[in-house]
Amino acid sequence: MNNSNTSGCSCSGGCCPQPEKRLVKIEFLYLDLSVCERCQGAESNLDAALREVASVLGAAGYAVQVDKINVTTPELAIRHEFESSPTIRVNGKDIALEVHETLCQECGDLCGTETQCRSWVYEGEEYAEPPKAMIISAILKEVFGGGQPTATEKKPYVLPENLAAFFAGLQSRQEQ
């Protein structure tokens, strides 16, 4: 008995037209990767999370685009509506519902002023870096439904005082 299908192709060899992949856009915004352990840890955990969900997303017809954005000026912060460092967004939505911040010694040393960087609350616990499970959960919720509700009224963006002080400190150090 011949089990070959001669009436149509069901291969994955590229002879059949493949549906266009839907795009999942991930943004990783940060102040510094050279000394800030929070930013370094967030990047590492994001990379690990993406490695784990890549096959599931690919199998479901999604392609992932990751934009890593070093926010080095107030103008870039304003352009990207940067609230706190580091930030991870999935399809434009911050993976953290609320911004929590704690003192960041490395960023403070970098700019010469006390700086608060993001801390992450996941399942009732606070972390200095976003846990990999938090990132995976946020990606899957956004892609497969049940994602975070979108705000009905968006507030105008204002550069947070903490970031303004950070950039002013950097500028002052560069001028010395």
pLDDT, one tens digit for every residue, the chain (176 residues):
444 444 455 555 566 666 688 999 999 999 999 999 999 999 999 999 999 999 999 999 999 999 999 999 999 999 999 999 999 999 999 999 889 999 999 999 999 999 999 999 999 999 999 999 999 999 999 999 855 555 556 789 999 999 999 999 998 888 87
In angstroms, the CA 106 to CA 163 distance is: 14
**Checking DSSP bridges between strand 62-70 and strand 22-30, what pairing results, if any?**
parallel
In angstroms, the CA 17 to CA 121 distance is: 44
Q: What angle do CA 66, 11, 60 make, to 5 degrees?
A: 35
- List the domain boundaries for the chain: 22-145+160-175
Sign of the alpha-carbon torsion through 32, 24, 15, 55 = positive
In angstroms, the CA 120 to CA 133 distance is: 12
Q: What is the pTM of this model?
A: 0.84
- CATH says 22-145+160-175 is which class? alpha beta
